[in-house]
Structure 1
Amino acid sequence: MSTPANETLSVVVERDLAYPPEKVWRALTHPHLIEEWLMKNDFKPTVDHRFNFRGDWGAVDCQVVAVEPNKTLSYTWAAMGLESVVTWSLTPTSEGTRLRMEQIGFRPDQQQAYQGAKFGWQKFFGNLEQVLSRET
């Protein structure tokens, strides 16, 4: 059975974090903290702001789509032929925050990018947890 050409795949990572949404939000939106767990950037949590992430391998061109402080952050993620959208959702829990990241828009012929994202986001989440544990 083949996948229709217009059907896209998404990567979802969810973690329960022992930190309040405000603290997780800071790590997702402050450029110096984003650099510690993800990549160098010129991010601002402002709708329509264009920014990029820069790594050793190249850059990702992005644009902020939605900002709802301490709740939702969404931006486009374009790199090496991939046109996708990354959405962060923060939900308060009794223990802290449930953080959900979904990256949508992988075409069926982009298996390498898809598998890379599945691996990469797990690593980035681990880095994020280390940053959160250090930040007060």
Structure 2
Amino acid sequence: MTSIAPETRTVVVEREIAHPPEKLWRALTQPHLIEEWLMKNDFKPVVGHGFQLRGEWGGVLDCEVLTVEPNKTLSYTWNYAHADAAYNLQSVVTFTLTPTSTGTHLRMEQSGFNPDQKQAYGGAHAGWKQFFANLDQLLERLD
């Protein structure tokens, strides 16, 4: 008898950004800029690089870079272990940048939420909206 993995859920946030993909790519891949809109980190845009994102709340996410296509696609694992197993999360975050006539279409997809992880799923929806608000502010300040 084989067991079938439960279907997972995905959070998708899409935005039209009034900046070119190259500028957005810098914000997604340079550690000091990632810290300004997302979290403290030791990120390097190198496939296989293991890094951590450290939240202000004290949480630590263990991550590994999966895909790097400059100015197009970036993906990495997003793993969070919590004492309460219901909060443990193993997911993948993928950013896709598509040039438009006015800048860039940014699509963020975080996949891997189990059906019983309603709180984590809801938190990701709210969290990414806040992260992207921070990203918008950062992009306005960047040259």
TM-score band w.r.t. shorter chain: over 0.9
For residue 120 of structure 1, report the CA deviation from its aligned partner: 0.1
1:1-136, aligned counterparts within 5 Å?
Answer: 6-57=6-57, 58-80=59-81, 81-136=88-143
TM-score scaled by length of structure 1: 0.96
For residue 31 of structure 1, report the CA deviation from its aligned partner: 0.2
Instruction: Tell whether the 8 Å contact from 1:5 to 1:107 is kept in structure 2 after alignment.
Output: no
Aligned residue pairs total 133
Correspondence for 2:85 = none
Find the aligned partners of 1:133 and 1:11 in 2 and give their Cα distance: 25
Secondary structure class of the residue paired with 1:45: coil
Find the aligned partners of 1:101 and 1:55 in 2 and give their Cα distance: 19
TM-score scaled by length of structure 2: 0.91
For residue 5 of structure 1, report the CA deviation from its aligned partner: 5.7
Find the aligned partners of 2:134 and 2:107 in 1 and give their Cα distance: 15
Instruction: Tell whether the 8 Å contact from 1:64 to 1:76 is kept in structure 2 after alignment.
Output: yes
CA displacement, residues 91-123 of structure 1 (integer Å, 9 cap, x when unaligned): 000000000000000000111100000000000
For structure 1, which runs of at least 5 residues remain unmatched after alignment? none
Counterpart amino acid of residue 24 in structure 1:
L
Instruction: Tell whether the 8 Å contact from 1:29 to 1:45 is kept in structure 2 after alignment.
Output: yes
Secondary structure class of the residue paired with 1:16: strand
Counterpart amino acid of residue 60 in structure 2:
A
CA displacement, residues 23-62 of structure 1 (integer Å, 9 cap, x when unaligned): 0000000000000000000000000000010012211000
Find the aligned partners of 1:56 and 1:33 in 2 and give their Cα distance: 16
For structure 2, which runs of at least 5 residues remain unmatched after alignment? 82-87
Instruction: Tell whether the 8 Å contact from 2:48 to 2:64 is kept in structure 1 after alignment.
Output: yes
Secondary structure class of the residue paired with 2:26: helix
Query: RMSD across aligned C-alpha pairs, in angstroms?
Result: 1.0
